[in-house]
Structure 1
Amino acid sequence: MQHLAFTLGLTLLAVLPSAGARAATAEEAMLQQFRFTSIDGGQIGFTDWAGHPVLIANTASLCGYTPQYNDLQALYDAYRDRGLVVVAVPSDDFRQELGSEQEVKDFCELNYDLDLPMTGITHVRGETAHPFFSWLRESQGFEPQWNFNKVLIGADGSVLGTWGSSEVPTGPAITQAVEAALAS
């Protein structure tokens, strides 16, 4: 599997345009393959966010950590003009998500006024995990243990940090990592 991923990464690296004079890293090339269904319809993914740091959080509407939606939106509002992308990935892997994507979208708009990118309901664990989360587990040993786990991907495609549910998106651990990612 790692050989296939490495080969795929090299193949993608060969066809990706460079950002200015800088060539894409193998990590960037690997990330470019990952697409998600958008909760608004269509597809979203790392090709849309190339050259930007991306904070991804697996979320759920009926979790005790659900108020972190406010913090995810606040982080996005504070740093989006500098290039940060914050993505919510609703998941029912812990049996705390609403029954449909429309319900999730309505809930988030009504209760949290979210305008950050959001995927459709997505598996984040185990054999049925979305390929991004499978890659994250295989390459970094990180798999969400509960809702509102977070991962920061640098503009170069490297994993800059992972955090559990209790780490608030606007807390110092994440904001310092975001500031460092935006400065590089």
Structure 2
Amino acid sequence: MKFSNFTKLLAIVFLMISFFSTKTLANYEKVFFDFSVELVNGKLIDLNEYKNKKAILLVNTASYCGFTKQYNDMQNIWEKYQNKGLLVLAVPSNSFNQEKKTEKEVKEFCEVNFNITFPITSIYDVKGDSAHDIFKWAKENHGKSAIPKWNFHKILINNEGKIEDTFSSFTNPTSNKIISKIETLLNI
């Protein structure tokens, strides 16, 4: 059987698209609300408590990162949209060796330097085998783009508890890209 150059080109393009594709077909056996996390104050939270939220911005954070100033912007969008259905949830992580040693230090750092009032979890790994189950779930259902490549990676979750979109550390929480997605989910 002889293949034309066009057929060969199509096959190569298809293989490249398959190879470089970062999203998987989500089966969502679980959703975000099926998990629990421990907060920085030691309280265990069943994420089902947030089922009334229209949008959740999940951000892995670190105190010693060049992106740490994004805490200000996270607090700003929290203040602006929390009463409209947004939850901002920070997940301190030492996966990139830039976080404080204890939850007490993280809590104090965030409160003193940024006046953070949105929920902050305990310190968790966000990638690899030791990652918190939420981040394993995100990878399983959204592919490589849900895996944090650095601190302040953002995962936007919709009111069904499914991943709406992901954003790199370089995308500021108050960027038009993120704000427009949040406002769409909040119906404003």
- TM-score of Structure 1 vs Structure 2, range by shorter chain: 0.7 to 0.9
Asked if residue 179 in structure 1 is aligned to residue 180 in structure 2, the reply is: no
Q: Is the 8 A contact 2:155 2:166 kept in 1?
A: yes
Which ranges in structure 2 are unaligned for 5 or more consecutive residues? 1-25
Structure 2 SS opposite 1:96 = coil
Deviations 1:93-121 (A, max 9, x none): 00000111100100110000001000000
Worse overlay, 107-116 or 37-46: 37-46
> What corresponds to 2:3 in structure 1?
none
2:150 maps to amino acid: W
1:153 and 2:146 are equivalent in the alignment: no
Contact 2:152 2:169 in 1 (8 A): yes
Q: Once the 2 structures are TM-superposed, how far is the Cα of residue 49 of structure 1 from its aligned partner?
A: 0.7
The 10-residue stretch of structure 1 (58-67 or 137-146) with the greater mean CA deviation from structure 2: 137-146
- Residues 77-88 of structure 1: pairs in structure 2 closer than 5 A: 77-88=79-90
**Greater Cα radius of gyration, structure 1 or 2:** 2
Which runs of 5 or more structure 1 residues have no equivalent in the other structure?
Answer: 10-28
- Assess if the C-alpha contact under 8 Å between 2:173 and 2:179 holds in 1: yes
* Equivalent runs, 1:102-113 vs 2, <5 Å: 102-113=104-115
CA distance in 2, matches of 1:160, 1:54: 10
Partner of 1:39: 40
Alpha-carbon separation, structure 1, partners of 2:163 and 2:31: 12
SS at match of 1:99: coil
Aligned length: 160
Q: Which moved more, 1:95-104 or 1:37-46?
A: 37-46
What is the rounded CA distance, in whole Å, between the counterparts of 1:116 and 1:175 in structure 2? 17
Deviation at 1:50, TM superposition (A): 0.1
The amino acid that maps onto 2:91 is: V
Equivalent residue for 1:74? Answer: 76
Residue 31 of structure 2 contacts residue 160 of structure 2 at CA under 8 Å; is this kept in 1?
Answer: no
8 A contact 1:51–1:156 mirrored in 2: no
Question: Deviation of residue 42 (structure 1)?
Answer: 1.2
Question: Aligned partners of 1:151 and 1:115: how far apart in 2?
Answer: 19
TM-score by length of 1: 0.83
Q: Once the 2 structures are TM-superposed, how far is the Cα of residue 159 of structure 1 from its aligned partner? A: 1.2
Q: Which amino acid aligns with 2:41?
A: D
Q: Deviations over 1:39-82 (max 9, x none)?
A: 02211242111031110000000000000000000010010010
TM-score, normalisation: structure 2: 0.81
